[in-house]
Amino acid sequence: MIQKKISLSILLLFCSISLIAQKTKLTDNGRLDISIGIANPKAEATFGQFYKSKGIQPRITLEYGLIGLPYSKQLHARVAAIAGLEPGSFTNKTTLLTEAKMTNKPLGGRFYPFALRNGLDAIKWKRVGYFVDEALLGALWFLNGFYLEGGTSPGVTIKEEGYADVSRSPNFTGWGIALYDFAPENKLRFKFNFGTRKYKWTNASNTSSEIKSFCMDLGLSYRF
């Protein structure tokens, strides 16, 4: 009985949030972003004692805008779901001949705390001149795209020749800035993204391992 009440409450809350989002016409909801980019992973903690990065690695990221919660006339907190693929290869420091390979499959979410509800064009202020207006516009552009992210990467298999396969499910956290073009009304938009991400997991010896990356992506965003 209690579980049914909790489920009903969650459903009602989700419906209420959806109605708010539709009423306020939040243009970033319902957008699917497909981005291809690069990451520069660095092995740290226990994993970093035995392996070193082989340099830049490719990655692909999907992002779908779920909901926006307005808290002022100009701003709303936006939530998006993310998924992707991040293959990685690391050289064994001891042998220098073998490498550990893995493919992270991140599943999680992104939280944009300062997203603009109606784009940069809707922001009005008294013009100052002397490049101050341009600086303010740039600051708002970056603030609009600032995000925090987190999630998990289930069932990652670490493979290395001569060693048994190891399976782990790292958690990840990160932050970044997603810069869209200046046409929020368009169905198709261009996107540039940069940020950092950290994968962390617990080893069989109860020690922890980490992979930290600086990432950059280019992509397209389509509103359904």
Kindly report, residue by residue over 109-139, the tens digit of the pLDDT.
999 999 988 766 656 666 666 677 778 888 8
**Region 77-91 average pLDDT:** 96
Task: Name which residue leads in pLDDT, 119 or 200.
Answer: 200
- Written as one letter, the residue type at 167 is S
pLDDT at 13: 46
Taking only the tens place, the pLDDT of each residue in 87-109 is 999 999 988 889 999 999 999 99
Task: Reply yes or no on whether the pLDDT at 180 is more than 60.
Answer: yes
pLDDT value, residue 123 = 65
pTM (whole model) above 0.75: yes
The amino acid at residue 220 is L
Give the closest residue to 148 by CA, choosing from 112, 117, 116, 115: 112
pLDDT tens sequence across 1-47? 544 444 455 444 445 444 444 444 445 678 999 999 999 999 999 99
Domain ranges of the chain: 28-223
The residues, ordered by sequence, that sit 6+ positions from 139 with a Cβ below 8 Å of its Cβ are none
CATH class, range 28-223: mainly beta
209 SS3 class: strand
Long-range contacts of 5-14 (CB under 8 A, 24+ apart): none
Return the pLDDT at 122.
Answer: 59
pLDDT in tens, 43-62: 999 999 999 999 899 999 99
